[in-house]
Amino acid sequence: MTEFNRIGIVGRPGHAGVATSLVRLFTFLQHKKVKIFMDELTASLVDSPLVEIIPKNELGTKCDLVIVVGGDGSMLNVAKYLASDSVPVIGINRGKLGFLTDILPGEIETKIEEFLAGEYSVEKRFLLDVSKITDNKQEYLGSALNDIVLHPGSAAQMIEFELFVDGKFVYSQGSDGLIMATPTGSTAYALSAGGPIMHPGLNAIVLAPMYPHSLSSRPIVVDGDSEIRLIVSAKGSLHPQISCDGDVKYTANERDEFLITKKVVPLRLIHPRNHSFYEACRSKLGWGSQLVRKDDKSN
């Protein structure tokens, strides 16, 4: 059984529910023999001398467990700091859907107690890296747990680009852009663009065009170990942008080239033992429950 003795906590300021859950979580952990770390903004919501304040990007190296209090966006923001250090992460949901933060606020004490006792399951979620290629040299731009998106920026205008997968030309396209999503991100932006829902255990990437100027241009799924290359055609004053989980990383010029690949080290996401991806889809996407059978004596 893995022992969690050094626990990091991250929360999003400006949300009353987050502050309430942070205090509740901190009060519970104070009675355990653990050392608690927080970044400066999170610590300001708790205001206790018993917290050791460290930069957010050091949580992965100083802690053996990190608890994120907030919505899926909070988890996305923290994931890029934690994946490379293989530190496991728990999410307490104070957002809307909560695909990544699946512990309810009212379950904090019960579920954290179970996790500290070793009663949990671990799920590995891979991230995507994006780099700019110049003269055969790669310049790292960022990472994403959900998706990397090529888009026109602030204005809704058509952009043109070429897509290559593993060195093979796929197509050139005129559209509002392209969403390159992990299985984790398949239930996010890519889903809104008509992409498929992928089980998080799949080693696959969905490529979902945004409003393509072609009725035959549909989302496609490629191997997760594929090398995806984009060559951008920027016209006039229009300069497309590359975003990682909604955070703009680069504004492109004409003929800029980008490489998207799977990050070597995945994020280790902790769930309760009875966690089910399909149950999460039913509750959060409004799927139907099991049909009542005639031999069901409960009715």
Pairing of strands 247-251, 241-244: antiparallel
Burial class (CB in 10 A: 0-12, 13-18, 19+), 192: exposed
Centre a 10 Å sphere on the Cβ of residue 10 and count the other Cβ atoms it contains. 26
* Among 63, 98, 59, residue whose Cα is nearest residue 78: 59
| Residues pairing with 181 in the sheet | 147, 206
Burial class (CB in 10 A: 0-12, 13-18, 19+), 273: exposed
Centroid of chain to Cα 256: 26
The CA angle 174-177-181, to the nearest 5 degrees, is: 135
Q: CA 286, 287, 293, 297: dihedral to nearest 10 degrees?
A: -40
Which among 72, 102, 129, 147 is annotated as catalytic? 72
Is 72 known to be catalytic?
A: yes
Helices (H), 203-291: 277-285
HSE-CB at 96 with a 13 A cutoff on CA atoms is 3
Token readout for 93 is 């949901």
Burial class (CB in 10 A: 0-12, 13-18, 19+), 287: exposed
Catalytic residues: 72
